[in-house]
Structure 1
């Protein structure tokens, strides 16, 4: 039995947190797990791991100021990071002075949610003992950045005990929603990359002559993104639509620390006629994937991982591209008119809507998305990393772009 120090979201129902919950459960069947836990503040928990709140004693929510302390105390055999590549790089810079002394391995599982990574982003990976991403698209982008290091591909999974079909009318009664309404659902976080403004614009263009159409925004009213209520009212006014009773919010006080319990989240997913995503890029699209498992049709942009996962259904065309000002990444903006067009088709052609819903459900039931299968894949990767010889200074190089 080895000791694994996990670095990432833990004991919280974020996307990273839900993935970690399943992955760590598998790793703990053979190894001891401790965690430098992001978005955890020290409250009592029922997880079978020791948790160190990542932000304690400093300003970095990811724990760069704590990782040396925790590594020195726990002396792990492997450090296992689930987070964005730039977060992993910062953690590595803080931790690597201890690597020669303590001899731990370092493995990073990271999302790729955009195009055009700078080659230097992967320079620190030359010193790691392994890395992996979620999709073939992600793996291809790593290669395009000039990185020839091995990169595993391990997908996210679905827990059929948490996300499954329920009766739509009964589900809606739980949230006081009318059975006859056409409900469009976006459950992504209200933050810049998710472009909730495009969902609002696309929905209202579609809903102008459809009084039974409602938009459910399952997210914080402001959080890191838009004032969604004020924006909804303004866009509705511009399109000469009465916004009254058109917008559904899960709760007035809603954020990553005040999410619905899993059982209620499944009920909320089941209320919708269609789930939408208008992001600029996605590493996996966990909300869409989970809601697809409940038999709800999904409409996603025609880019990044979503193009790969939702490969056989209509997707929102990309109307323009932008370069991210933080990391220089290319990101595609989905068309609000394109979203409105697909919504209009499904509204008027319920047979097509049902076919897409069935495809979405059946796709998520593939064995490759079973957490049991995925957990074994992670065990294999961590055990391989543990068994490998101590890594010598790298001979591979990042190719010049």
Structure 2
């Protein structure tokens, strides 16, 4: 079969890049003619039996895809992509060509959360109904799609069990990476909003107190999220602010770009040195690092939500969710509970018998995810494509004309879009940087060291925070903030703000649920003051 696969390039150090590399190379070994349109590929070349093609002007390759469809005439297209990206890739022009040549479209998709009713946004469900074969990478994704009566295939990611394996002597493995005698907490997490690295640091800071042997190794590019247009977080500055400078390590030389990753064996050496792997993300569509940790015998800990739960249940640690909020799509996001995460870490640190049992169980769990059987399952799915009839609830699979799916903006009950800056993930993430109304002597510079793109403003409406620890702002500004639902740090409702206003403001900016509670508490205080 001639296959056109579209996703991260196989040499990009991401989960999608890893899956592209293993699945496409495996399918090529089984005799498939595999073309890969890699989003980070800049020039065409051969790699592991596949042909790599570059994107053009559009970052997801929609303009290049039209030409490749005409030139390569694939038997099937596989998109390894998030659901909302699909209309950007399969544009109406591409759709017409796909329909003309009857090329089936396979969507291999993550589901890293659901709406409060457990379902997908309606426009996402429409995307899944529009493709010929939706393939979920987690059982969680299958279950969420089923609530919308969308039957999907289940196909998990895999792991190289020969590379990610427990060491014969973990202490020697630690010494090999300069961590002899330490209790190693590894986190292989990209520096981006969903991974919630500020929460991860909060967990480790609480755990490390009184445990001098604890060290956190962050396998991430600390500069990945420092100055991006939609994400501004200085990870190094936050580490320093929390007093963790001597307790947190970064992978030397790692960069989040094509060719900037470690070799598989160098990466596996970090996993073999780890006692645990900690993921504090807001939700996962799969969580490849969690599986890699299990394969290496590093006990995985992750939130008891989304696909993470199925990758830690029974052998790792499912961390309770401490706070919930909804993102701009109406998807529930779960912030791990700091105290519960510390409890799980402490048990593994203090009880080595329990750690050894969990480590062995984790490795046994990972055996079911070897790449060989997973690639063969892909071979079977693709072979069955020509015989696939209409999916349940559809009259036909192949449409007679082009289909356009329009993604909508989720809104709050009062009509405000969920992209309102007050409700974006406060790291901050969104179309514009966070804005703060600050008192004359508020230490905004300390906040800006953590969030470099943070701006000050005189406009309360639409601000992310009113930051006035010394109570210097006029009473009408404070009242306007309460009425506008803007969280307030400072003054009478929060006496503790005078002690460490920056720490409290940081928590408000990274935790939308806390921001909401803070705003509600401020409003209640103002109403009581007015009533008095």
Per the normalisation by structure 2, the TM-score is 0.68
2:187/2:278 contact within 8 Å kept: yes
Q: Which residue number in structure 2 is paired with residue 34 of structure 1?
A: 35
Is 1:357 the equivalent of 2:389? no
After the TM superposition, which parts of structure 1 deviate over 4 Å for at least 4 consecutive aligned residues? none
1:156/1:374 contact within 8 Å kept: yes
Higher relative contact order (CA 8 A, sep 6+): 1
Q: Deviations over 1:113-169 (max 9, x none)?
A: 11122122121333322111012211111122x2x3320011111211221122323
State the 1:244 CA deviation.
4.2
State the 1:206 CA deviation.
1.0
User: Matches of 2:276 and 2:44 in 1, distance apart?
Assistant: 36
Query: Is 309-318 or 283-292 further displaced after alignment?
Result: 309-318
Q: 1:296 to 1:100 in 2, by over 3 A?
A: closer
Work out which of the two has the higher radius of gyration on C-alpha atoms and give 1 or 2. Answer: 2
Q: Which residue number in structure 1 is paired with residue 497 of structure 2?
A: none
Q: Which residue number in structure 1 is paired with residue 132 of structure 2?
A: 129
State the 1:252 CA deviation.
5.3
From 316, 319, 322, the equivalent of 1:316 is: 319
Query: Is 312-321 or 183-192 further displaced after alignment?
Result: 312-321
Per the alignment, in what secondary structure is the counterpart of residue 70 of structure 2?
helix
1:220-299 paired onto structure 2 within 5 Å: 220-224=221-225, 226-236=233-243, 243-251=244-252, 254-257=255-258, 258-299=260-301
How many residue pairs are counted as aligned between the two chains?
A: 379
Q: Which residue number in structure 2 is paired with residue 67 of structure 1?
A: 65
Q: 1:230 to 1:259 in 2, by over 3 A?
A: same
Query: Is 339-348 or 214-223 further displaced after alignment?
Result: 339-348
2:44/2:52 contact within 8 Å kept: no
2:45/2:52 contact within 8 Å kept: no
User: Matches of 1:43 and 1:207 in 2, distance apart?
Assistant: 48
Q: Which residue number in structure 1 is paired with residue 212 of structure 2?
A: 211
User: Matches of 2:306 and 2:275 in 1, distance apart?
Assistant: 24
Q: 1:187 to 1:374 in 2, by over 3 A?
A: same
Per the normalisation by structure 1, the TM-score is 0.89
1:34/1:49 contact within 8 Å kept: yes
CA RMSD of aligned residues (A): 2.0
1:285/1:306 contact within 8 Å kept: yes
1:16/1:82 contact within 8 Å kept: yes
2:105/2:132 contact within 8 Å kept: yes
Q: 1:30 to 1:229 in 2, by over 3 A?
A: same
1:274/1:297 contact within 8 Å kept: yes
State the 1:314 CA deviation.
3.0
User: Matches of 1:289 and 1:76 in 2, distance apart?
Assistant: 32
Q: 1:392 to 1:343 in 2, by over 3 A?
A: closer
From 293, 314, 331, the equivalent of 1:329 is: 331
Gaps (5+ residues) in structure 1? Answer: 237-242
User: Matches of 1:176 and 1:125 in 2, distance apart?
Assistant: 47
User: Matches of 2:17 and 2:91 in 1, distance apart?
Assistant: 23
Q: 1:161 to 1:221 in 2, by over 3 A?
A: same
Q: Which residue number in structure 2 is paired with residue 141 of structure 1?
A: 144
Q: 1:378 to 1:252 in 2, by over 3 A?
A: closer
State the 1:344 CA deviation.
1.6
